[in-house]
Amino acid sequence: MTNQNENNAYAEKVWFITGSSRGFGRIWTESALKRGDKVAATARRLESIADLKEKYPENVLTLKLDVTQAHQAKYAVEAAYDHFGRLDIVFNNAGYSLVGTIEEASADHIRALYETNVLGTVSVIQSALPLLRKQGYGHILGTSSGLGHLAYPLIGYYCSSKWAFEAIHESLAAEVKPFGIHVTIIEPGAYATEFGSRKSLDFADGMEIYADFKQQVFERIKDQEQGDPKATPEAIFKVVDSEEPPLRLFLGSHNLPEIREAYEQRLNTWEDWKTVSNAAQG
């Protein structure tokens, strides 16, 4: 099969997107359809994306997919490939956040978070790779976060799932490059999406000892400037249309200064303790 990107920067693309029902997933799905691309849109509830079929009957395939069910991931990816004849972009966007301190969250809460944010993503990737290798090209995208590089209180487990997400994709990028497959990690900052709603959040059972601290953190979050999610599709299109897409892409203007500061602090600490570290070499 001919690589669609060999002859020109933009040609009609075929997307497979998880979490298409709301938030970034919904915006990016509709934006791709509006520009004339074809999309296999997936969601846990088909009725939540049924209107896409009405608006774009020729260009969209709607599929039920709970990414925590590996057999569903395999079926959905293969159904999309069979329907469109190829997959140019496989975009893992499904995910949610767990709110609670490290002490509060139960093993069941943590396990469920990882089942979606990490293992669900891996199921989609593992289902897609044989097909992408067969066609000789493809682009795997995954929605991480600026919090894939640092951690905030109360969402430490969510941040940890994104740190794992980052490591998996960085390793994947090196492993699949010889097959002509690109990998890009999309790292949004704070945006005014539904991600902060109850639909995208799970809450650990609270402990009174943390009540005041939580209130302080929530008050700071209220004052946080949020980006406009509708301003993001063009950035995504620039990445998928690029012949040499980046491994990582920040969305928004706040990530770079915040993460630069965090890494400067880390480097300073490692330098300060360099003598101790070097002595441990033996």
Is 162 noted as a catalytic residue in this protein?
yes
Cα-Cα-Cα-Cα torsion 210, 157, 44, 71, nearest 10 degrees, comes to: -140
Catalytic residue among 97, 158, 160, 191: 158
> Among the residues of 200-252, which ranges form H helices?
211-222, 233-240
Q: How far is CA 109 from CA 22, 97, 150, in A?
A: 22, 10, 21
CB proximity list for 100: less than 8 A, separation 6 or greater: 109, 154, 157, 203, 204, 205, 206
Q: How far, in Å, CA of 54 to CA of 42, rounded?
A: 15
Instruction: Report the amino acid identity of residue 137.
Output: Y
Is 222 noted as a catalytic residue in this protein?
no
Burial of 239 (C-beta count, 10 Å sphere; 0-12/13-18/19+):
middle
User: What DSSP string runs through 22-40?
Assistant: SHHHHHHHHHHHHTT-EEE
Catalytic residue among 20, 21, 123, 144: 144
Is 144 noted as a catalytic residue in this protein?
yes
Spatial CA neighbour of 172 closest among 232, 121, 242, 96: 121
Catalytic residue among 97, 137, 162, 191: 162
Q: How far, in Å, CA of 147 to CA of 158, rounded?
A: 8
Hey, CA dihedral for 192, 111, 168, 267, is it positive or negative?
A: positive
Q: Active-site positions?
A: 144, 158, 162
